Amino acid sequence: MSVEVGLSKALSAIEPMADRNPIILIDGRAGSGKTEFAKSLQNNLFQILEQAPRLIQMEDLYTGWSGLNEGALYLLREILIPLNSNQTAYWKKFNWETASRVEQLSSFEKTTLLIVEGCGSMSQASAEIADYKIWLEAPEPIRRKRFSERDQGMFDQYFDKWATQEDEFYSTHRSAELADLRISNR
């Protein structure tokens, strides 16, 4: 399914949930187009609901280039479990330049729709909490090209290291199979 059709399907599925502040997960391998899709979904939902959904990006939760699993656990522990218990979620973003979490706490109360996007957002445990799950996929050459272009090649050396973590995570959690909607982003 194309991105445009996927966006339309996602909007029609999510809009009726808006009265209960759903949690939406958007996952897929690096370079599959998750960030752009999440921003487009957020903007479209804002126009429909006249309320901007909160967007949390997994890159703020990872602990560097070896932190995919830790980021997924941090999302679950600090954000999704508290929200699922009707509590406020508190977390600290990761600063990639200092390789440490910032002192300032971010917080979120489940007062609006939440979109979480990034590799590892959809684990078996997080899928049980989420209301709607979207998986984006693209062929590896396209993903590698997008990955490189996003930061002008500055992080190309990490693509294979990250892909290895993705292989392990996705074979364990079978994230694509947990999705309510699968989108091909060629």
pLDDT tens string 120-158: 999 999 999 999 999 999 999 999 999 999 888 889 899
Where is 39: in which H helix or E strand? helix 34-49
Q: Is residue 33 part of a domain?
A: no
In 85-180, where does DSSP find H-type helix? 124-129, 140-150, 159-173, 175-178
Residue 97 covered by a domain: yes
Residue 30 placed within a domain: no
Q: What is the pLDDT of residues 80-130, one digit of tens each?
A: 999 999 999 999 999 999 999 999 999 998 888 999 999 999 999 999 999
Farthest CA pair distance, the chain: 44
For residue 19, pLDDT over 70 is answered with no
List the CATH number of the domain containing 102: 3.40.50.300
Any domain includes 54: yes
Number of domains within the chain: 1
The reply to whether 11 falls in a domain is yes
pTM of the model: 0.94
Task: Specify if 67 maps to a domain.
Answer: yes
Q: Is residue 35 part of a domain?
A: no
Residue 8 falls inside a structural domain: yes
Q: How far apart are CA 34 and CA 104, in angstroms?
A: 26
Range of the domain at 169: 3-24+41-184
